[in-house]
Amino acid sequence: MNTDSTVLKHSATQRRSIDVDAVRKQFPVLSREVKGHPLVYFDNAATTQKPAEVIHGLINYYSHTNANIHRGIHTLAEEATAAYEATRHLVMQFLNASSIEEIIFTRGVTESINLVAYSWGRQQIKAGDEIIISTMEHHSNIVPWQILCEEKGAVLKVIPINDAGELLLEEYEKLLSPKTRLVSIVHVSNALGTVNPVKQVIEMAHKNGALVLIDGAQSAAHIPIDVQDLDADFYTFSGHKIYGPTGIGVLYGKKAILENMPPFQGGGEMIREVRFEKTTYNDLPYKFEAGTPNIADTVALRDAIHFIQHYGKENIAAWEDELLLYATDKLQAIPGLKIIGEAKEKISLVSFVIDGIHPQDIGIMLDNRGIAVRTGHHCTQPLMNRFGIPGTIRASFAIYNTKEEIDSMMAALENAIRKLS
C-alpha cells in the first residue's frame, strides 16, 4: 500500500481531535469480554456498534411513543409520525437532497437496489440494453441486475480493476455506449476499502445518457455525501453501518425519476384511493413505502446521524485514516502477508492474506483472543476470483478503535501464524 500523504485525506492540523476514550464509554458493548479477553471489534464494515443514545432512542420510542404512524389522530400516533418524519428531514440534510420527497425508507442497501431494479428496471430496460457494474461490487449490486438482464434480454457489463483494486476508467469509457441505460457502482469497496471516483463515473455516464446508482453502504459513515454535487440519480445507504439500528436504510432518488417509477410493493400507505376497479397511488415518498414501516429503527436512525454530526465526518475520518496507516505499516512487516487492495484512496479497512494459512483459521485464532475480524469472500466472490484467492482477513476500523487495539491484533496475529505455520 502507498502510505504517503495521498492516502491521508485529513491531516492532524486540519482536524478537531477526538477523545477516543470518551467515545468508547458511549458504546456499552465495548466494555464486555470475549473468551476472557477485552473485546476488540474490527468488523465495522459488516456493522458498526451502537452508542447509548441510539439504544436509548429505541427504548424511549417503545416506552413512551409506540404507535402506528401517518393516519392516526390520537396523540401517540401524531408524536410517532412527527419523530419518523423528523428522521426523513435529517436524512435529506445528511445527503443534501433537494426535497424530502426524494428520501425513501427501505430495510437497507440491498432492498434499495432491488427496488430500483424492480421498479425502474422493469419499466425501462428492454432487450439489448446494457447495464454496467464493476468488478468490486457486493453481491447485492450484482444479482438484482443479473436477474433483470436475464428477464429482459439485456446485457450486464463489468468495469475491470487494476492490481491495486482501482477502477480502470479508460476501460469504463470503452464500455459506455448509446445502449447503456444504467451504471450501478459502489462508492467504497467493502472488501478492499477503495474509494471510487464516483463523481467522474457519474459525469461519464450522464454524457452517454445513462442513469447512475451509487451504493453508499461503506461510504456514508466516512465521507461527506452531497447527492446534488455528485449529480447521482440514486444513492443508498444502510443505518446499521453508520452506528444506527439494523433493518433501516435509505434510497435517495431524483424526484423526476421517482415520480415516473411504478410502486415497488402494494398495500397500505402507498395508496391514495383504492377501488376494485382501480387504485391510485400516493405521492412521494410514500408511494414506495407500503405497509407499516420500521418505525422505531427509523426514529433511532436520527440519533445515529446526530452522533456522527456531533463529531464531524472529517474528524472521524481523520482518526480512522490514522488507524489505517498504523495498521498497514504493522501488517506490511509480517513475512508472507499480502495486503489485498492498495488503492491510493481508501477508507479505514485493510484486507490481507497470509501464505499457506486459510483466512478462516486466522479468524478463529483471533476470536480466541477476543478480536473480531471478518474472514471470507465478503459477498464479493467475483472480486476474490479476480485476485485468485478464496477470501481475505478483513480488519475495519471505526471512531472508537485505538492503536492499542491494533497492537493487540498484531500480537494475536503473530501468535496465530507461529501456531498455524
In angstroms, rounded to a whole number, what is the distance separating the alpha carbons of residues 388 and 374? 19
What is the grid cell recorded at 172?
469504463
Q: Please name the residue that has the C-alpha cell 472529517.
A: 314
Closest to 185 (Cα-Cα) out of 215, 211, 165: 215
Range list of β-strands (E), 216-297? 234-238, 249-253, 271-274, 279-281
Q: Are 327 and 93 in contact (CB under 8 A)?
A: no
User: According to DSSP H, which parts of 233-294 are helical?
Assistant: 255-260
**Torsions phi, psi of 282, nearest 5?**
-70, 170
The angle subtended at Cα 4 by Cα 387 and Cα 7, nearest 5°, is 65
Cα torsion at 370, 59, 66, 266 (round to 10°)?
-20
**Chain length of the chain:** 421
Tell whether the torsion through CA atoms of 304, 306, 310 and 314 is positive or negative.
positive
With H, G, I as helix, E, B as strand and everything else as coil, classify residue 158: strand
In angstroms, rounded to a whole number, what is the distance separating the alpha carbons of residues 81 and 38? 41
379 carries an active-site annotation: yes
**Torsions phi, psi of 150, nearest 5?**
-65, -40
Residues 6+ apart with CB under 8 A from 296: 58, 61, 62, 66, 245
6 CB neighbour count, 10 Å cutoff: 9
Q: Are 242 and 347 in contact (CB under 8 A)?
A: no
Q: Which of 334, 379, 389, 420 is catalytic?
A: 379
Residues 6+ apart with CB under 8 A from 8: 321, 322, 325
Instruction: Point out the residues that are catalytic.
Output: 379
